[in-house]
């Protein structure tokens, strides 16, 4: 580093002769198959979280870069006329590029704690743990992975208050799980680094929260079990959304940011940032993760954002020539370090993150690759494949293996797999078929060739009419709203069928298909970008896929097919949407600034390899929502 500046280098790594670097692994894989590294991760995180809050590389300080306590970090200041409110890049084309060096900085600090802990083990364990620590990289939590009928989507590794570890003395012990919560009340926090009183967090009115909360009840107790039910309940829509965005989005701007592009294209409402918002909301539900000012203090934030970074890495592998950043930063792009009217491009500085030179900041061009930061992901091990085509084929196959080849076979495979799971355990499945995806309907192809045989669709003969000539119609709900229109986080629930009028039941309603989350902030926020976004009435967008829910109604005999002539009148009658704000109370739809809900469809062909091939043409069905509160009308802007 230069002049004492802290640099965001990640873990210093010398690639192997083939270019290989260590992997960031899925948290459940790390725990099950790399037990020494898992043990070091927990002990290292305990050490990391215990660092003095005045240490710039402490957990507290690094979490504070994201929002509160709104103190410039590492002496990186911005525009002299701007109020400092964090280095926020949300709803910006820089969203994923900014978070990559941020995560690398966190990882290098965590790595240091892991090395420290490994060196403190007594012999004969020390050599073993020092060796395991060498290639340690922080894990991710894949919140869209396939789940069976008896699996909770929110892992107990994160949601349990205690954890079992082998301590440095070799004894097996129970400790407070550092992934469960971050504790404030055991830290000596100077007044200039203190957070505010969390007036927006449930229950309102109390000024000192001892630790981070998830979906807090009326008494301020976290409800991790409820978080698990909520995430599990909307698993199908989430998985379908991940597959849709990874396999059909080709433009980096559309993939990365939830900012409304106003390009008249119906097929660009989704984004990885929209998915990101949804997870913040489902975990927070009135707690820290639901508020951008303080979300980074919850330990799950880092697992979540590492998965977002992974999805970007996968998308990059699928679209190697689609990375482009060049747009004028009008008010909605400006923040504390970027002035309105300047051009945001691949060379825009990603402050406050200095690169290894310590003399300049990372930019989007430099953070395009993960290997300079010393890591990659299981799906993006480029060195394993002899050609670019072999690599592309392998990544496509892996996406379809994990998130489904196509919604049709996913759905029917899910019925089979959940029925088998139910029979084996003798109880009802956790996941409702209406919202559940399943294992993909094909095996992974060889890495050096495209499959030459046609993958069977495994659809019962009774429903073969749904995919004539291996084609079907995908149905999607598009949603948009003014981001800070309600001065707080809010979400729009999309239902297919009847639902309880009590909003407290909506997160776990059987007929809720999915949600659109808007991480808005109040007018009193110090966040400069949020203030300019509010002034500019920034509009953000999201999607909720409907096809899995429609298939369930077809199976139940309520709907004949996925064709327009059948689905249009069905959605007019059965599609509903409702809004709740940060604390879970209902907000009338017509009182949400800029809210517009619409339905679009696109034709999809199932390729010989089972991978969906999207037509790229999206048809609007405004008559479904026209005349309803917050519904897109026939003459409204697309």
Distance in angstroms (rounded) separating the CA atoms of residues 504 and 218: 12
**Which residues have CB under 8 Å from 50's CB, separation 6+?**
none
Block means of pLDDT (10 residues each) for the chain, 638 residues, are: 80 95 97 98 98 97 92 83 68 89 98 98 96 98 80 89 97 98 92 78 66 92 95 88 92 89 80 95 93 93 98 96 65 56 80 94 93 97 97 92 79 64 34 41 36 73 91 96 91 97 95 93 60 72 94 94 97 98 94 96 90 90 96 86
**DSSP secondary structure string for all residues of 525-567:** ---HHHHHHHHHT-EEEEEEE-HHHHHHHHHTTS---SSHHHH
Q: By the 8 A CB rule, do 596 and 571 touch?
A: no
Specify the DSSP class assigned to residue 522.
Answer: -
Distance in angstroms (rounded) separating the CA atoms of residues 353 and 105: 8
According to CATH, the superfamily of the domain at 27-160+172-180+223-392 is Di-copper center containing domain from catechol oxidase (1.10.1280.10)
Query: Matching CATH topology for 27-160+172-180+223-392 and 461-624?
Result: no
Query: Count of alpha carbons within 13 Å of 50, Cβ hemisphere only?
Result: 10
Max intra-chain CA distance, the chain: 74
Strand order in the sheet with 489-496: 512-519, 489-496, 575-581, 586-587
Write down the domain spans for the chain. Answer: 27-160+172-180+223-392, 461-624
Q: By the 8 A CB rule, do 604 and 613 touch?
A: yes
Among the four given CATH numbers 1.10.150.20, 3.40.50.620, 2.60.310.20, 3.30.2130.10, the one describing domain 461-624: 2.60.310.20
Query: Count of alpha carbons within 13 Å of 63, Cβ hemisphere only?
Result: 30
For 221-232, the three-class secondary structure string (H helix, E strand, C coil) is CCCHHHHHHHHH
Secondary structure percentages of the chain, helix, strand, coil, to 5: 35, 15, 45
* pTM check: above 0.85: yes
User: Tokens representing 410?
Assistant: 């996913």
Task: Name the nearest CA neighbour of 573 among 503, 623, 630, 506.
Answer: 623
């Amino acid at each position: 580093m230069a002049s004492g500046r802290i640099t965001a280098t990640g873990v210093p790594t010398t690639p192997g002769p083939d270019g290989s670097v260590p992997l960031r692994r899925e948290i459940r894989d790390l725990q099950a198959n790399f037990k020494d590294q898992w043990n070091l991760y927990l002990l290292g995180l305990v050490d990391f979280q215990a660092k003095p809050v005045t240490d710039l590389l402490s957990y507290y300080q690094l979490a504070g870069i994201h929002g509160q306590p709104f103190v410039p970090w590492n002496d990186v200041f911005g525009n002299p006329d701007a109020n400092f409110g964090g280095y926020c890049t949300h709803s910006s084309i820089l969203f994923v590029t900014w978070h990559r060096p941020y995560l690398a900085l966190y990882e290098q600090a965590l790595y240091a704690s892991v090395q420290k802990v490994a060196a403190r083990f007594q012999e004969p364990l020390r050599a073993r743990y020092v060796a395991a620590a060498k290639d340690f990289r922080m894990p991710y939590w894949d919140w869209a992975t396939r789940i069976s009928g008896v699996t909770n989507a929110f892992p107990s590794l994160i949601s349990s208050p205690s954890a079992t570890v082998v301590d440095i003395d070799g004894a097996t012990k129970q400790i407070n799980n550092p992934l469960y919560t971050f504790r404030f009340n055991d830290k000596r926090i100077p007044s200039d680094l203190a957070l505010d009183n969390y007036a927006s967090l449930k229950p309102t009115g109390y000024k000192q929260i001892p630790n981070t909360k998830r979906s807090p009840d009326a008494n301020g107790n976290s409800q991790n079990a409820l978080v698990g039910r909520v995430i599990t309940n909307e698993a199908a829509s989430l998985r379908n959304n991940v597959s849709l965005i990874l396999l059909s989005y080709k433009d980096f701007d559309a993939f990365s940011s939830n900012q409304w592009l106003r390009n008249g294209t119906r097929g660009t409402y989704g984004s990885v940032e929209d998915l990101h918002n949804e997870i913040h909301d489902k975990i927070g539900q009135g707690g820290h993760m639901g508020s951008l000012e303080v979300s980074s203090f919850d330990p799950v934030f880092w697992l979540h954002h590492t998965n977002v970074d992974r999805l970007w890495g996968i998308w990059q592998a699928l679209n190697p020539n689609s990375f482009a950043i060049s747009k004028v930063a009008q008010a909605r792009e400006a923040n504390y370090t970027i002035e309105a009217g300047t051009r945001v491009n691949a060379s825009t500085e990603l402050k406050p993150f200095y690169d290894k030179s310590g003399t300049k900041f990372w930019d989007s061009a430099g953070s395009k690759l993960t290997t300079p930061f010393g890591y990659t992901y299981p799906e993006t091990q480029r060195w394993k494949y002899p050609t670019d085509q072999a690599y592309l084929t392998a990544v496509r196959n892996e996406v379809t293996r994990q998130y489904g080849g196509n919604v049709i076979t996913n759905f029917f495979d899910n019925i089979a797999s959940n029925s088998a799971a139910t029979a084996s355990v003798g109880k009802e499945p956790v996941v409702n078929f209406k919202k559940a995806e399943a294992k993909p309907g094909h095996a992974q192809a060889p890495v050096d060739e495209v499959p030459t045989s046609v993958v069977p669709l495994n659809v019962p003969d009774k429903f073969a009419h749904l995919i004539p000539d291996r084609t079907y119609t995908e149905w999607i709900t598009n949603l948009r709203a003014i981001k800070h229109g309600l001065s707080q986080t809010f979400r729009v629930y999309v239902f297919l069928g009847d639902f309880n009028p009590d909003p407290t039941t909506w997160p776990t309603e059987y007929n809720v298909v999915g949600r659109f989350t808007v991480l808005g902030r109040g007018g009193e926020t110090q966040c400069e970008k949020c203030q300019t976004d509010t002034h500019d009435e920034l509009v953000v967008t999201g999607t909720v896929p409907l096809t899995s829910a429609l298939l369930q109604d077809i199976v139940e005999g309520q709907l004949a097919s996925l064709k327009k002539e059948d689905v249009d009148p069905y959605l007019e009658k059965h599609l509903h949407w409702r809004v709740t704000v940060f604390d879970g109370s209902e907000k009338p739809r017509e009182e949400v600034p800029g809210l517009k809900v619409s339905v679009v469809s696109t034709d999809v062909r199932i390729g010989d390899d089972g991978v969906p091939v999207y037509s790229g043409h999206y048809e609007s069905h405004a008559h479904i929502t026209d005349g309803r509160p917050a519904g897109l009308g026939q003459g409204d802007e697309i």
